[in-house]
Chains A and B, each alone.
Chain A
Amino acid sequence: MLKIFLLNVHLIATIVWVGAVFMGTFIDWPAAKKTVKEDEFPFRFIVGQGSRVFYSVYTGIFLIWSSGIGLVILHPPQTPREILMLVGKVLALTFMTGFTMYGTFFTWPKLQLATHKEAHQLYENYMKRAMATFTFGLIAAVLGLWIY
């Protein structure tokens, strides 16, 4: 029963986090930059979105790690293949968490105070990390399906 509960929490947290990254990267940014002139940055929309996504992303991160640790305790990997997949999943989650925290502590404070030109450069780099986060999220999710 506890295992099913943790699996559901893990799944929902993954959907929230990876879904938020997908929405921000592939839907919102391409649309938002078309709403302003070429040399302008859509600060109001992007930072407004960033303020809202902050809580869901960090709730997702906390729930993924805590439910994941719980699942490993309840169902420790048995075979070399399971161990390898768990290591891969933990590495993917570590990169995702690292990219996300780097964004929160370094990129976003700079972005909020950037000029339009600086903001474009900062956000292009941020988007590359967001795409990497999304890719690692997919890898972690697929590995999770194989483990269970």
Chain B
Amino acid sequence: MEKTHVKIKFPNQFGQYISYIDNLEFEGTKIDDFINTLDGIYGDIKERIFESDGRVRPYINLFLGSKNIESLEGIHTKINNGDTIALLLSRAGG
């Protein structure tokens, strides 16, 4: 299977669950493959990002480059070598 290398820009609150890595090489070419790889290595990653029906939690924003994946093809969005994947949280709580 094709391998893809990506840069990761996640907030510290999430970085702690993935040993603060800032890049990853994984098998596959889609967001889904990327998340599955993280989940396989670090555990619980899918539960932290997705709802039980498989959708990204509504207040979590996953970006491929400067585009929210929800405006692309969601978890089926294709990733190219060298792309940056970022995660942003909504401002909430008080």
Contact = CB atoms under 8 A, between A and B. Distances in A.
Interface of A: 20, 40, 43-44, 47-48, 50-51, 53-54, 57-58, 100, 103-104, 107-116
A113 B90 contact: no
A50 B52 CA distance: 20
A112 B92 contact: yes
Dominant SS among interface residues on chain A: helix
Nearest to B94: A57
Contact of A51 (B17, B51, B91): B91
A57 B93 CA distance: 9
Nearest to A53: B94
Q: How large is the interface on B (under 10, 10 to 19, 20 to 34, 35 or more residues)?
A: 20 to 34
B92 A54 contact: yes
Contacts of A44: 51, 57-58
Interface in B1-48: 11, 13-14, 17, 44, 47-48
B7 to A, nearest CB: 20
Contacts of B58: 44, 47-48
B48 A103 contact: no
B47 A111 contact: no
Contacts of A58: 94
B8 to A, nearest CB: 14
Nearest to B90: A51
Given A47-B90, A47-B92, A103-B94, A112 B47 contact: no
B48 A113 contact: yes
A111 B93 contact: yes
B44 A109 contact: no
B72 interface: no
Contacts of A48: 58-59
B93 A50 contact: yes
Given A50-B94, A51-B59, A43 B51 contact: yes
Contact of A115 (B13, B47, B51, B94): B47
Contacts of A115: 44, 47-48
A50 B94 CA distance: 7
